[in-house]
Structure 1
Amino acid sequence: MFGRNQVIIASTGVLISVGLWIGLRPVKATLDSAKLVFFYGKSFNDQRNFPISKAVDILEQDEFDNGKPTVIYVHGYIEHMEMESVKVVCEAYLKRGDHNIIFVDWADLADGNYLLDAVPNAVKLSNILADAMLELINNGIAINKLHIVGHSLGGQIAGMMARKVKEKSSNTLKLRRITALDPAFPPFYPGWVYKPLGKRDAVLVDVIHTDAWLYGAPVSTGTVDFWPNGGKTLQPGCPKRNYKMLTDNDLCSHRRSWWFWAESVASVDTQKFPAIKCKSWDHFKDGKCDEDAPVAYMGIDCPLNVSGDYFLQTNGDEPYCKGSAGTKYAPKVKT
């Protein structure tokens, strides 16, 4: 038996507390607390803050290079500027050195009750971010060089923002690429209340699943969906869950998505995380995959011309990429 404040997540049998979604402390935050952070140098500390309403001012910075692609990274629930996820991803781009890097800092809005504060705030934020994207595009950023990357709830914001860009431009503008790193599960699936990220939100919507059915989206939701190690908890190298919500152990699999992404970004000379197209994880394990489909690379090098579900295995620690060996299932060795 489980208590009245607990539920079972379907297909996993994992017990979670309803208090995570509706019982945490409320938070008061306004939309103007969110800002854009432009990384202008070689260090993480080389950054300038801009109100979202002044996004176009970033284009006037001497260090902004309109010849380079621009990545906009959106963090997830209860994350902030000093979180490991933000530093790891941004420093990977700094190491790469060939992108303009803009970070959406919405920490105050991403705090408090998940369902009562953070999700509604995410919806409102996506609207003003869409206005900022239109300003950037109208003032010179090439839409085909604009890439939105979001983790967890940030992945859902990316989808909502992209749909608003299309709506506000009377369907004349469509973002080239959205990457969602284990996009948030509740309350976006099955989509009765909030529409989830979808394959029509951009020309390419690539999704990395690492904690499906818990914190991450339970189903394929992009143009191409990558399912490393089956896409579910526990990812290799993660400790067994202690079921205390939002602890490091609990979030390990969910966070693995941005570790994979950062590793691919930091590798300039080598394409990381080759994956093969299969109908399911069981088919991958049995070697029953689509031999005619091209290999796709999970991460920054994902091509525009692939679609469907792709599978691979990774290592349990850095470097996570197993190379071509990751495209063939290797059973876990019992110790």
Structure 2
Amino acid sequence: MVRFIGVELGKLLAALVDAGLHPSDIHLIGHSLGSHISGFAGKSFTDLTGHRVGRITGLDPAGPCFSDVIETFRLNVRDADFVDVIHSNAGVFGVTEPIGHVDFYPNGGSLQPNCPPAAVSCSHSRAWLLFAESVLRPQAFIGVSCDSWQAFREGKCDYQNLSVMGYGCQNGTRGTYYLQTGDGEPYGRGIEGTRFVNNEGLLRNIQNALGGPRG
């Protein structure tokens, strides 16, 4: 079904190009399964037109059934001129491995702050909340090039290599970036988010573990 929907969307986009839309102006944004639907739309569009769509943004692309498969069966860098990905629930509902030209892992990309363990979709949904905030606050989320979340926590990153995460991400950005967000809206911490703060969201996480705020 994911592939079918993507192929049909690709046909629609091809028809719009025939009507005058430029491929570089196409920006597909998909959350979870929608990320892979966008990927299949990009594949279909290229097959029909010989061109690539300008950009695909994957918001915590679905992991189950799409992890450890060949690229043609999921979103990949050949589906658009630029593919940027935000991971917020990697290893659970989202893919773990980097699959875009640039991949962002806010808060390590798996468990998001202020998401109680019982709220199974909280971390998975955080990706689109962060992206939505980035539309109105272009400099809210800044990531730093880093090899891993552990390296980020230890401050062992390339602080000369920063990138905006979200809507304002530049097409030429490449690599893997990490950042820390706040635990509530507004989530963006700007440049401060490139440095790990050990107690970020600590009180709320304790409250969640105990079953919610008391008193």
TM-score (norm 2): 0.89
- Give distance in 1, aligned partners of 2:6 and 2:26: 16
Match of 2:155 in 1: 287
1:115-126 matches, within 5 Å, as 121-126=1-6
2:203 equivalent to 1:325: no
Q: Structure 2: which amino acid aligns with 1:262?
A: A
- For residue 134 of structure 2, the aligned residue among 243, 264, 272 is 264
Deviation at 1:240, TM superposition (A): 2.0
Do residues 207 (structure 1) and 85 (structure 2) align? Answer: yes
2:52 aligned to 151, 156, 174, which one? 174
For the 8 Å contact 2:25–2:53, the answer to whether it is kept is no
Shift of 1:193: 9.9
Question: Does 2:41 align with 1:148?
Answer: no
Secondary structure of the residue aligned to 1:221 is coil
Asked if 1:195 corresponds to 2:98, the answer is no
Extract unaligned runs of 5+ from structure 2: 204-215
One-letter amino acid of the counterpart of residue 142, structure 2: P
The one-letter code matched in structure 2 to 1:176 is G
| 1:218 positional shift | 1.4
Provide closer, same or farther for how the CA distance between residues 292 and 272 of structure 1 changes in structure 2, counting only shifts above 3 A: same
Aligned length: 202
Separation of aligned partners in 2, 1:259 and 1:324: 19
The within-5 A match list for 1:1-335 is: 121-169=1-49, 172-191=50-69, 195-233=73-111, 235-241=112-118, 249-267=119-137, 270-293=138-161, 295-332=162-199, 334-335=202-203
Note the alpha carbon deviations across 1:276-327, whole angstroms, 9 max, x for none. 100111111111112342x211110000111110000001110000111100
Alpha-carbon contact 2:2-2:37 (below 8 Å) kept: yes
Is 1:230–1:281's contact at 8 Å kept on the other side of the alignment?
yes
What residue in structure 1 maps to residue 207 of structure 2?
A: none
Structure 1, unaligned stretches of length 5 or more? 1-120, 242-248
- Give 4+ residue runs of structure 1 displaced > 4 Å after superposition: none
Could you tell me how far apart the structure 2 residues matched to 1:184 and 1:191 are? 12
Q: Name the SS of the counterpart of 2:198 in structure 1.
A: coil
Letter in 2 for 1:257: A
SS at match of 2:120: helix
Q: What RMSD in Å do the two structures reach over aligned CA positions?
A: 1.5
Q: Quick one: distance in 1 between partners of 2:140 and 2:84?
A: 15
- Structure 1 residue 189: deviation in Å? 1.3
* Per-residue deviation, residues 251-292 of structure 1 (Å, max 9, x unmatched): 00000001001101123xx42201110011111111111234
**Separation in structure 2 between the aligned mates of residue 300 and residue 321 of structure 1, nearest angstrom:** 13
The two structures have a TM-score, normalised by structure 1, of: 0.58
CA distance in 1, matches of 2:152, 2:71: 34
Considering fraction of residues, name the structure with more helix.
Answer: 2
Larger Rg: 1
1:194 to 1:162, Cα distance in 2 relative to 1, 3 A: closer
> Residues 326 and 291 from structure 1, CA distance in 2 versus in 1: closer, same or farther, beyond 3 angstroms?
closer
Code of the aligned partner of 1:331: N
